Amino acid sequence: MARATWYCVDIECSGPVPGLYDMVSLGAVQVVDVDDTLRIGATFYEEIRPTGPRMDPSAMAVNGLDFERLQREGQPLRDVLVRLTGWVEEVTTPGTKPVFVGHNAPFDWSFVNHGYHVHGLPNPFGYKALDTKALATGVLGLHWFDSNKERLAQLLELPVVETERIHRADYDAWYQAHILIRLLQRGAANAVSGGF
Residues forming the active site: 167
How do strand 3-13 and strand 96-102 relate by DSSP bridges?
parallel
Question: What Å distances lie between residue 122 and 127, 156, 177, CA to CA?
Answer: 10, 35, 24
The interaxial angle of helices 169-193 and 132-139, nearest 10 deg, is 30
Give the integer Cα–Cα distance in Å for 24 and 7: 19
Q: Which of 114, 91, 120, 103 is nearest to 161 (CA)?
A: 103
- Give 75's DSSP letter: B
Neighbours of 75 (CB within 10 A): 16
Evaluate whether 23 touches 45 at the Cβ level (below 8 Å).
no
How do strand 96-102 and strand 129-131 relate by DSSP bridges?
parallel
